[in-house]
Structure 1
Amino acid sequence: MKPARRGVFHPLLSICLAVLFLFPSAAYQNVSDNTLKSLPRPGKDFDIHDGAILSPILIPRVAGTPGSTTVLNHFVDFFRTSLPTWNVEFQNSTSVTPVSDGKEIPFVNFIASRDPPWALKGDVGRLTLVAHYDSKYEPEGFIGAIDSAAPCAMIMHAMRSIDDALTKKWESMKAKGDAHSSLDDHIGIQVIFLDGEEAFKAWTATDSLYGSRALAQHWDSEVNPAMSVYKTPLSSISLFVLLDLLGAKQPEIGSYYPTTHWAYQKLANVERRLRDLNMFKSGGRDWFPDASKNEHEIARYNPVEDDHLPFLQRGVEVMHIVDFAPIRGFPDVWHTMDDDGEHLDIDTVEDWSLLFAGFAAEWMELEGFMPDSKAERSVHPAEDKPAPQKRRSDKTELF
């Protein structure tokens, strides 16, 4: 990335559901402390030398190279073995780059999703967690641990952490006959690992964001079946959460978009609660300095160009989770050979994975379905009672 200036529904039911999704009407509830306490840590899986999740990504992985294929295969193996109920697909494109001598370079975006088992294609709004998996062409041998091997690993661990709870929730809904009865029945989750974010020579509108530009265009033009709640795969993205440059100590994450500032505040609230529960290893200050501001007080300009742009420009709701401080800029290791596994702060990396698991559990309304959380809550039914909030999805953006 680059800092700027450097079954088929009845037609009427489909319309009603679409309107409800587009406006702040669906209840949003905080998960209990017991649910947060049930979140697992990645532990050995994040060992930089032989950890099952993180270490396979800590290699040079320039788009179109064997390293890129190796990491892509790692994603496939992880989802097929650890998350076999998820749907895995790829979106392919090619492009000439400034260093390819006129040759078309392949770019492969990895997409994994899980929807309620009864939901039809086009009727599911998905929380979408995103990171790029490619590394820079230069300097040769660049690893890109914070940029963005660690964010990919964080997402993988978070999805594994909530997967059993998703199964339990949907099985419970089906057994109780609650399927198809509310908006909650059509909330899914999606992971995108994008290829070709990095520039090959110098960051320009055409030498950068190869994968995200291709995917956003493709999903904007692909049409779902007639009478679907969502016309295109692009419009089915309820919230596009982009992770980048995460894994250094003391991150600072700004909020840039008024229409998703509420989600930024929810993420910050989960972080604060995890700290209060002594579940964070990294210590230090809070990571979200804009959490106490309202949407009118945050910056109206995002200083970082990144994979969210092709989606933002098409009206997708974006929450950009990037470590960028107005005074210091990016983390010190950014785009240097020091951005490797040895320079990661593993406590921070683990804490991020815990935080995104908690946020996803809250978004997917998994209260009572995480391991042990239901039993603990039944013993103390009044403890940590979730407070209903409003889920917003207004389709407007400032850029």
Structure 2
Amino acid sequence: MLHFVWFALGLCLIFLIVDFWLTGGGWTPGSASTRMISNDEAHFNDTLLRLLVPRWLGSIGHTDVCNFLVDELHHLGFNAVQNEFTDPIPITNVLGIMNPNATHFLMLSCHYDSKYLEVAEEYVAATDGAVSCAILLNMAKRLKYFFSREFSQRKDIGLLLVFFDGHDSVNGITDMTYPLFGSSGFVESETIPLKQITLLISLNLIGAPNHIYMSRYEQTFGMHERMAEIELELRQLGLLSECHQLFYKLKDHDSDIDDDHNSFLESGVPVMHVVPHTYPELWLHEDDNFENLHWPTVRNMNAIITRFVYEYFKKNNGSDLNAK
């Protein structure tokens, strides 16, 4: 009996050593990380449906979505902050902060307002903001176990989820400008000191079929390459939906679209702009809704972003967090 006990203890020790070796440098496909990342598609769908309402500035839907974001961030364990500006118009950014006393932050962002279309007042802008918001919230839900335990003990790195307001013009479909009031206000006031943001991942226009994603900036090309590698690894493990390849190790550094990352880029913050190479076919169209999303793209992007965030925190310490 005593020999059996020692044998069992030895096996446990071996498993612990192997597990530590597999995860010590970061995320390893099929290792202990699979226990730290849940899969909650019901949460994603419920979240997305709460966001898919007309939510242009001044609308009831805009207020409802803003309040929903705050409540959901609280529920997911973040410090939720409504960051209000009144110049030139009243807008409200919503921030979710985890490890608020950390010296550095990984920041993920998108915009939650939708454009007012005089020709389609029920426009819900699924790809134009809503899917990106749902991905960020679902990522936090899927990593909640990791965030509430190991990650919460860290002082070197925290997580910022920022949902920008005032991205779109409210002057109808004929006004094609992007005022970007929320993101520019964030940068101008340094709501979070910019020197503490080691990497900004800005998401937009996700959820249409046949779109590919290329690197937009040389400074973060290595990070983009890692996204592509994670997609391949997840595909080989059978953890992705049947879908075309999303991330390519290609550089498109001479073109980009105006988006909320602009002010950060101009201020020297490393930026990954996760946006497709071309606009969605239903962009600014009333049919950009739940029913017309390309769900394999949505599910796969959600899985890739979640794994990337988990790996980023597992691999990096505060002293070496600058994007390469």
The verdict on how the C-alpha distance between 1:366 and 1:32 changes in structure 2, with shifts beyond 3 A counting, is: farther
CA distance in 2 between counterparts of 1:235 and 1:163 reads 27
Tell whether 2:103 aligns with 1:150.
no
TM-score by length of 1: 0.68
Q: Which has the higher helix share?
A: 2
CA distance in 1 between counterparts of 2:74 and 2:63 reads 16
Structure 1 runs, 4 residues or longer, greater than 6 Å off: none
The verdict on how the C-alpha distance between 1:36 and 1:270 changes in structure 2, with shifts beyond 3 A counting, is: farther
Q: Kindly, what percent of the aligned residue pairs are identical?
A: 27
CA distance in 2 between counterparts of 1:42 and 1:346 reads 15
Shift of 1:366: 7.9
Structure 2 alignment gaps of length 5 or more: 1-23
CA distance in 2 between counterparts of 1:394 and 1:40 reads 27
Tell me the SS of whatever aligns to 1:192.
strand
Shift of 1:33: 2.3
Tell me the SS of whatever aligns to 1:265.
helix
Shift of 1:309: 0.3
CA distance in 2 between counterparts of 1:356 and 1:191 reads 13
Give the equivalent residue in structure 2 for 1:214. 185
CA distance in 2 between counterparts of 1:170 and 1:190 reads 13
Please point out which of 235, 249, 274 is paired with 2:209: 249
TM-score by length of 2: 0.83
Please point out which of 280, 295, 299 is paired with 2:252: 299
Tell whether 2:290 aligns with 1:341.
yes
Shift of 1:335: 1.2
Give the equivalent residue in structure 1 for 2:194. 234
Q: Deviations over 1:183-242 (max 9, x none)?
A: x740111100001111223234xx5101111111111xx6xxxxxxxxx62211111000
Equivalent pair of 1:131/1:148 in contact (CA under 8 Å): yes
Tell whether 2:106 aligns with 1:127.
yes
Please point out which of 62, 77, 91 is paired with 1:107: 91
CA distance in 1 between counterparts of 2:282 and 2:320 reads 36
Give the equivalent residue in structure 2 for 1:180. none
Shift of 1:34: 2.7
Tell me the SS of whatever aligns to 1:235.
helix
CA distance in 2 between counterparts of 1:278 and 1:254 reads 23
CA distance in 1 between counterparts of 2:113 and 2:150 reads 35
Q: Deviations over 1:23-75 (max 9, x none)?
A: xxxx973433234544333322233xxx2x11110000002321111001111
Shift of 1:113: 1.1
CA distance in 2 between counterparts of 1:129 and 1:323 reads 17
Equivalent pair of 2:164/2:183 in contact (CA under 8 Å): yes
Tell me the SS of whatever aligns to 1:203.
coil
Equivalent pair of 1:31/1:365 in contact (CA under 8 Å): no
Equivalent pair of 1:62/1:68 in contact (CA under 8 Å): yes
The one-letter code sitting in structure 2 at the alignment partner of 1:160 is K
The one-letter code sitting in structure 1 at the alignment partner of 2:103 is V
Give the equivalent residue in structure 2 for 1:161. 142
Instruction: Return the structure number with greater relative CO, CA threshold 8 A, min gap 6.
Output: 1
Please point out which of 140, 148, 170 is paired with 2:121: 140
The one-letter code sitting in structure 2 at the alignment partner of 1:233 is P
Structure 1 alignment gaps of length 5 or more: 1-26, 97-104, 174-183, 223-231, 368-389
Tell whether 2:26 aligns with 1:29.
yes
Give the equivalent residue in structure 1 for 2:244. 285
Shift of 1:251: 2.5
Please point out which of 49, 68, 71 is paired with 2:65: 71
